Each structure stands twice: as C-alpha cells, then as structure tokens.
C-alpha cells in the first residue's frame, strides 16, 4: 500500500484558505502566537466557534474537516467566525519533526481569540470519547488557561465529544448498523470497528463507550457478527500485549479481545469461510486506520496475533477473507474509500446537535469569574 501523507495545517480558519508561518524552536525569545494576527484580521463577529479535533497528517482528512466545517458554517456562519485546531500534542510533534513547522494547538487559538476581542467563544470537541485529549482540552486549555488565568470575562460554551451519553451511543450504533445492515444480514460476514482508546485506567468511563457501542450494535444485528476493538486500550486490543501464540492457549484469553471474539464467533468453523469488513471507529481515517488497520508492510512478517503489524495482516494470516471495498489508498489518496466517523453525515450531525442544544441556553455560557 502506497502511503501519501499530506501535512495539513492543523490550525486554520476553515472559512478561508489563509495560511501562516510557524515559530521555530531555535528562537528562544520567540513568544509570538502564530495565529494572533489571523484571528484579529479575520474577526467579523463577536462570537467565535473553535472546532477541536485530534488531528492528522493525512491528506484524506482534509475533506472530512471541510465537511464538518460546512455543517457548522451552514448553521452558525451568520453569527460566528469558525476556526479549527488540533488537540493531539503527539500529532503536532510528529508534524514538526517531519517538516520543521509548528502546528497550532487550542491554547494558542484561544489566546488569539481572546486578544482579538471576541466576547463569546464556543468550543466544540470533535473527539469520539471523553478520554485524555478531551479532558486536556476542556479542563486545561479551556477552563484553566483561557477562562481562569487569561480571559475570565469572556463567555465560553463547552460542547461535548461525540459519545457523551447513552443516547449518543444508541444514535451512533443505529447509524452504523444502518450503513452495514446488508453485510450483517449474512452470518458469514463480520464487521470489525477499530477505535483508539486510552491506556490509562483514569479514563475507564471513556473506554467503556466502545463496549456500549458494541453491545448496542449486537442487539440490532441478528447474527451478532459485529465487534469493536481498539489500538490503545489494553482490554480491547487485537490480543493481549504479553500474548505468546507458541506458548498460550486461546481458550485462556479474555473475551474482550478481537482475536478471541473472532474465535468464539466462528466456533470451530473455517476462517476462510468468513469475510471481514474493516471500519475505523475514529473521527477521521488517519494514521491508525491506514496503518494499524489496513497497513501492509513491505517486509514479510509473521502476522501472528501479537505481531507488530496491521489487523488486516493478522486476519489474513488467520485465513479470513478481507473485503476491500473500503480499502485505504488503492495507489492514490484520491482513490481512498475508507471512511472515518466524520465522513458520515448523520454522525457529524450529532456534534452539531450537541452545540445546538446548548447555544441558546445562557446557563451554558460561563466565564472564568464563575470559578473564582
């Protein structure tokens, strides 16, 4: 699989194509906010909306962000200026290491919006679960740094992530079931969703959202042939991190792992009789979807369950057939048909609904003074 990465401007005003030059680490005295001038010069309203996403370096993600921005612009473009930021420090750092360009994070954007004179700032999380990135955004960047320490007079609305409650879980599960209902009707098909997850037990409530989605999907699929796993939450990985195929028996593996779920479902049958549909359960189809889910290493690897290779390779090693109708890349990013959650209009609408439900409620607009 040929990878074609495009280093997206992690913070840009989506309503324009304006760019900016970032600060370099070698300038010790450089404290200039790289988006301060952009926010000041772009200000046309007294209210700003900051859309905050995990981030990606893949060109395919541009169309996803544009679709999300269009949803919010269609609804709020007449009353608010709309901006985008990455929240993933890891993603920001990787882009910097590869290009030497800083990607602007939420704290820069928020400071710039405050200095630009916005009276109200609505922050919309585009994260899937209320995990580490979400907590850092709302607790540190928004509440602590922006509201309490720097701009206590600015009114702020904090709009939650995709799966914020059980109602959201049910909606997402229903929409995904509707999308794969035909495939799930055949018991020889299996749909696997890959989420990200958090390794830290502090965010167990966030990781539990994946189990809730899987349970809801299975109540809808008569064959119960749909499963959710993650790349970072230990209990829902493909298999345990300390697994040794040559020394351990799958019967001793917990039922929460993808490998064990598949063995239980096939129940002694031939893996070659089944077809797997691989689907990212992430806001965009980025690095994890292309590499950890769909990747095919150029070097030949022994794709045992515990191997450091993609789900696709492990599943093919087991003998499963892989449906490639939503395969990544196909020689060009323009031919990529893989879909993230943000590529599905009905799921994008949930983020928009979160903000709409709060927009006209004055009690939802709080200031740093409320915490003092």
pLDDT of residue 60: 74
pLDDT of residue 2: 36
pLDDT of residue 277: 97
In a domain, 328, yes or no: yes
Instruction: Mark whether 101 and 136 lie in a shared domain.
Output: yes
Instruction: Mark whether 185 and 317 lie in a shared domain.
Output: yes
| Structural domain boundaries enclosing 90 | 36-163+346-371
In a domain, 21, yes or no: no
Instruction: Mark whether 58 and 131 lie in a shared domain.
Output: yes
Instruction: Mark whether 326 and 182 lie in a shared domain.
Output: yes
First to last CA, the chain: 54
In a domain, 148, yes or no: yes
pLDDT of residue 98: 55
Write the DSSP symbol of residue 11: S
pLDDT of residue 314: 96
pLDDT of residue 8: 37
Sheet holding 321-322, edge to edge: 226-230, 189-195, 275-280, 321-322
In a domain, 28, yes or no: no
Residue 51 DSSP SS3: strand
In a domain, 254, yes or no: yes
Instruction: Mark whether 178 and 213 lie in a shared domain.
Output: yes
Instruction: Mark whether 154 and 178 lie in a shared domain.
Output: no
Sheet holding 47-53, edge to edge: 81-86, 47-53, 120-125, 155-159
In a domain, 302, yes or no: yes
- Residues 69 and 279: their CA atoms lie apart, in Å, by 23
| Phi, psi torsion values for 12, nearest 5 degrees | -150, 160
In a domain, 237, yes or no: yes
- Evaluate whether 195 touches 230 at the Cβ level (below 8 Å): yes
pLDDT of residue 150: 97
Instruction: Mark whether 120 and 174 lie in a shared domain.
Output: no
- Residues 133 and 131: their CA atoms lie apart, in Å, by 6
Instruction: Mark whether 158 and 174 lie in a shared domain.
Output: no
- Residues 256 and 238: their CA atoms lie apart, in Å, by 9
- Evaluate whether 110 touches 121 at the Cβ level (below 8 Å): yes
Instruction: Mark whether 250 and 333 lie in a shared domain.
Output: yes
The closest alpha carbon to 101, from 206, 177, 193, 12, belongs to 12
- Residues 307 and 238: their CA atoms lie apart, in Å, by 10
- Residues 322 and 307: their CA atoms lie apart, in Å, by 18
- Residues 363 and 293: their CA atoms lie apart, in Å, by 42
Residues of the chain with pLDDT under 50: 1-30, 99, 101, 333
- Read off the tokens for 77: 């473009």
pLDDT of residue 115: 98
pLDDT of residue 13: 38
pLDDT of residue 7: 36
Instruction: Mark whether 170 and 309 lie in a shared domain.
Output: yes
The closest alpha carbon to 64, from 280, 317, 300, belongs to 280
pLDDT of residue 92: 66
Instruction: Mark whether 144 and 190 lie in a shared domain.
Output: no
- Evaluate whether 281 touches 228 at the Cβ level (below 8 Å): yes
| Phi, psi torsion values for 121, nearest 5 degrees | -130, 120
Q: What is the value of pTM for the model shown?
A: 0.87
Count structural domains, the chain.
2
At 218, which CATH number?
Answer: 3.40.50.1400
In a domain, 1, yes or no: no
The closest alpha carbon to 21, from 54, 81, 39, 32, belongs to 32
Instruction: Mark whether 184 and 333 lie in a shared domain.
Output: yes
Could you tell me where the DSSP H helices lie in the chain? 36-42, 60-76, 89-99, 106-116, 132-135, 166-184, 204-220, 258-266, 287, 311-318, 345-359
């Amino acid at each position: 699989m040929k990878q074609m990465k495009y280093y997206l401007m992690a913070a840009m005003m989506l309503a324009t194509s304006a760019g900016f030059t970032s600060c370099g680490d070698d300038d010790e005295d450089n404290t200039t906010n790289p988006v301060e001038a952009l926010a000041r010069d772009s200000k046309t309203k007294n209210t700003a909306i900051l859309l905050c996403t995990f981030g990606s370096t893949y060109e395919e993600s541009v169309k996803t962000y544009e679709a999300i921005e269009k949803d919010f612009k269609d609804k709020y473009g007449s009353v608010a200026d709309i901006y985008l930021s990455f929240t993933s420090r890891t993603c920001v750092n990787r882009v910097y290491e590869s290009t030497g360009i800083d990607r602007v994070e939420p704290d820069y954007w928020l400071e710039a919006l405050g200095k630009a004179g916005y009276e109200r700032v609505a922050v919309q999380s585009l994260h899937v679960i209320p995990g580490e990135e979400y907590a850092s955004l709302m607790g540190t960047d928004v509440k602590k740094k922006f509201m309490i320490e720097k701009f206590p007079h600015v009114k702020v609305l904090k709009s939650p992530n995709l799966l914020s409650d059980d109602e959201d879980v049910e909606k997402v599960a229903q929409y995904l079931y509707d999308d794969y209902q035909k495939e799930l009707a055949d018991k020889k098909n299996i749909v696997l969703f890959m989420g990200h997850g958090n390794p830290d037990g502090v965010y167990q409530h966030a990781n539990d959202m994946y189990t809730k989605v899987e349970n809801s999907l299975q109540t809808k699929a008569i064959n119960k042939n749909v499963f959710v796993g993650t790349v970072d939450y230990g209990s829902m990985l493909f298999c345990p991190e300390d697994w040794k195929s040559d020394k351990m028996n799958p019967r001793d593996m917990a039922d929460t792992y993808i490998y064990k779920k598949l063995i239980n479902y096939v129940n002694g049958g031939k893996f070659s009789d089944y077809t797997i549909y691989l689907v990212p359960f992430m806001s965009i189809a980025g690095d994890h979807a292309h590499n950890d889910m769909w990747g095919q290493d150029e070097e030949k690897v022994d794709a045992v369950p515990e191997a450091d290779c993609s789900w696709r390779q492990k599943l093919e090693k087991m003998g499963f057939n892989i449906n490639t109708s939503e395969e990544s890349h196909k020689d060009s990013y323009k031919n990529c048909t893989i879909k993230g959650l943000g590529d599905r209009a009905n799921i994008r609408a949930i983020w928009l609904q979160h903000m709409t439900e709060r927009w006209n409620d004055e009690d939802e607009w709080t200031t740093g003074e409320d915490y003092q």
